[in-house]
Amino acid sequence: MKTTTPFLFLAWVLGSCFVSAQTLTPAGGDSSATTFRNPILAGDFPDPTIMRDGEDYYMTHSSMYYVPGLLVLHSRDLINWEPISNALDTYMNSVWAPDMCKHGDTFYIYFTVAGKGNFVVYADNPAGPWSEPVDLQLDGIDPGHVVDDAGQRWVFMNGGYRAQLNPDGLSVVDGTLEKVYDGWEFPIEWETDGFNLEGPKLKKIGDYFYLLAAQGGTAGPPTSHMITVARAKTIDGPWENAPNNPLVRTRADSEQWWAKGHGSLIDTPDGNWWVVYHAYENGFLGMGRQTLIEPVEIDDHGWLVAPAGTAIERPMTRPIPSGQPIDRLEHLNEFRIGYEWKFFKEYSPERVSVDNGTVTLQAFGPNPGASAPMLFVPGVHNYEISAKIDVDSAAVGGLTLFYKEDFYVGTGIDTEKRIRWRKGDVRGTWPRAENGHFWLKIRTVDHIVTGYYSYDGMEWIKEIWGMDISGYHHNTLYEFISVLPGFFAYGEGEVRFSDFKFEVLD
């Protein structure tokens, strides 16, 4: 088994690092509040999978290209979430559509790795330690675990296929995929991104197995994605599509939340049901797919109904009356790798250290795009980050708003000059003017990015290179990821970041 939690670097500092008092308002708000506002996880938390174990809830998401991955979060109220472990600490490629479950006394996460197939990790406790990934030797994507009435374990896959698991859940019986469900044929006049029968999530409620599927394509038009429902008395079918399909869908581009889909059902101890899913925010697609929740009812005919509609855009009654408010970025200045902070594609614990509020990164790669930058999910529209930066003679370091290797913006320094990057290329250099201490700041407001520099961290000089990054999202650049802020260090030697500040400007 692996180590219990991600490789944590705790910088317990008294002023050398700073997170603004204007950081995120917890989704749950005041513990005495009776309402909450979506999203429950703001920013890039796609493909949620959720489970309940007694009064405890656990959730994880697609980690895509970021490592450590498969961040496991815990909640007691379905609204406020805190990280407790990472189930994957090595880079395998883009990690998609996990399904988290408990069988017997063991917890499992089934997931897809792009180009490599389907895997599972397991643990005795959601806080870890988690096993190394086990290759299921199974084609398809988006495995969804279910146990039939005879106690046999299965995974349902995209396209309506399924495969039988061996009793330990770590391998399939013969690797054969069997077609058992055709999906729901939505009206041809709907604007979607394709049929795309994906993300099966199954739940036994009463006499029926309910199958939730993601259809219509994950991005593309605002009305593309949806959650469809089918039911059957056994997992062998026949599967009957809900007459009120889809359960959840964006119906107009005037709505706040676009491409709503990829849902998981979850119940509360008092017997109420909710659906957790992801969506893009209208006007802020670059934030990625955010995690939302809304109530579900079972009607007189045994079908699932989601009556909230666009009310999810307003305050809603909490699933569980009380809960402890959590500021998701409260510990940002502790530089906890795997919880708030993560790396793009390359994770080497020896590259990073924290001492008295100074983060030291060993330089890696030939440019910011190939440097495996250290990033976090801000979860807000407008913000700025700044830090004091010191570089070795052969290193380059700075701040970035990073989408992928060839699409990022940044401001950085070497020992002689300031450097600006746009769309992954150097787009200007200027002499540093002084060889002493040097601070950099990068700000984004309504997709407009500007940079600043300072010689004392108090008096800031504005750069002249404002740029627009409103197109940095999947519909133009693919990959299903988001714009994340953070640090980069490339070349040779080390770059030191201190006096770090994150301030919300909303």
Q: How many helices (H) and strands (E) does the chain have?
A: 1, 40
Looking at residue 31, its pLDDT comes to: 57
Q: 350-357: long-range contacts (C-beta < 8 A, 24 or more apart)?
A: 352/9, 353/9, 354/9, 354/10, 354/11, 355/11, 356/11, 356/13, 356/16, 357/11, 357/13, 357/15, 357/16, 357/17, 357/333, 357/498, 357/499, 357/500
CA neighbor of 451 nearest in space, from 467, 438, 469, 436: 467
Virtual torsion, Cα 456, 462, 465, 469, nearest 10 deg: 90
Looking at residue 436, its pLDDT comes to: 77
Q: Give the sign of the dihedral formed by CA 177, CA 179, CA 181, CA 183.
A: positive
Beta carbons within 10 angstroms of residue 218's beta carbon: 23
- Beta-carbon contacts of 200 under 8 Å, excluding residues fewer than 6 positions away, are 142, 144, 156, 157, 158, 160, 211, 212, 213
Phi, psi of 360 (to 5 degrees): -110, 125
Looking at residue 20, its pLDDT comes to: 37
- Beta-carbon contacts of 292 under 8 Å, excluding residues fewer than 6 positions away, are 38, 39, 40, 257, 260, 276, 277, 278, 279, 312
Confidence class of residue 432 from pLDDT cuts 50, 70 and 90? confident
Percentage of the chain beyond pLDDT 70 is 93
Give the tens place of pLDDT for each residue, 135-180. 999 999 999 999 999 999 999 999 999 999 999 999 999 988 999 9
Q: Give the strand pairing for 49-53 and 56-60.
A: antiparallel
Does residue 238 have a cis bond before it (omega within 30 degrees)? yes
Give the tens place of pLDDT for each residue, 286-326. 999 999 999 999 999 999 999 999 999 999 999 998 878 99
Confidence class of residue 383 from pLDDT cuts 50, 70 and 90? very high
Residue 460, SS3?
coil
Tell me which residue has tokens 């994507």. 141
Average pLDDT of the segment spanning 65-79: 98
Q: Give the strand pairing for 18-19 and 494-504.
A: parallel
Radius of gyration of the chain (CA): 23
What pTM did the predictor assign? 0.94
Q: Are 52 and 266 in contact (CB under 8 A)?
A: yes
Q: For the chain, what is the mean pLDDT?
A: 93
**Domains recognised in the chain with CATH numbers:** 25-317 (2.115.10.20), 332-504 (2.60.120.200)
Amino acid at 89: D
CA neighbor of 246 nearest in space, from 194, 201, 186, 298: 186
Q: Are 413 and 419 in contact (CB under 8 A)?
A: yes
Q: Write the secondary structure of 292-326 as one string of H (helix), E (strand) and C (coil).
A: EEEEEEECCCCCEECCCHHHHHCCEECCCCCCCCC
Is the pLDDT assigned to residue 130 strictly greater than 60? Answer: yes
- Beta-carbon contacts of 328 under 8 Å, excluding residues fewer than 6 positions away, are 24, 26, 41, 42, 81, 82, 340, 379
105: left (phi over 0), alpha (psi -120 to 50) or beta: alpha
Is the pLDDT assigned to residue 7 strictly greater than 50? Answer: no
Q: CA-CA distances (angstroms) from residue 27 to 204, 257, 327?
A: 29, 16, 8
Give the tens place of pLDDT for each residue, 492-504. 999 999 999 999 9
Give the tens place of pLDDT for each residue, 168-218. 999 999 988 999 999 999 999 999 999 999 999 999 999 999 999 999 999
- Beta-carbon contacts of 380 under 8 Å, excluding residues fewer than 6 positions away, are 24, 42, 43, 504, 506
Does residue 68 have a cis bond before it (omega within 30 degrees)? yes
Looking at residue 10, its pLDDT comes to: 36
Q: Write the secondary structure of 382-408 as one string of H (helix), E (strand) and C (coil).
A: CEEEEEEEEECCCEEEEEEEEEECCEE
Is the pLDDT assigned to residue 23 strictly greater than 50? Answer: no
Average pLDDT of the segment spanning 397-418: 97
Residue 158, SS3?
helix
Looking at residue 14, its pLDDT comes to: 31
Q: Are 199 and 97 in contact (CB under 8 A)?
A: yes
Cα angle for residues 188, 193, 195 (degrees, 5° grid) = 60
- Say how far apart CA 55 and CA 342 lie, in whole Å: 29
- Judged on CB neighbours under 10 Å (0-12, 13-18, 19+), 447 is middle
Looking at residue 3, its pLDDT comes to: 41
Cα angle for residues 286, 312, 61 (degrees, 5° grid) = 50
Confidence class of residue 28 from pLDDT cuts 50, 70 and 90? low
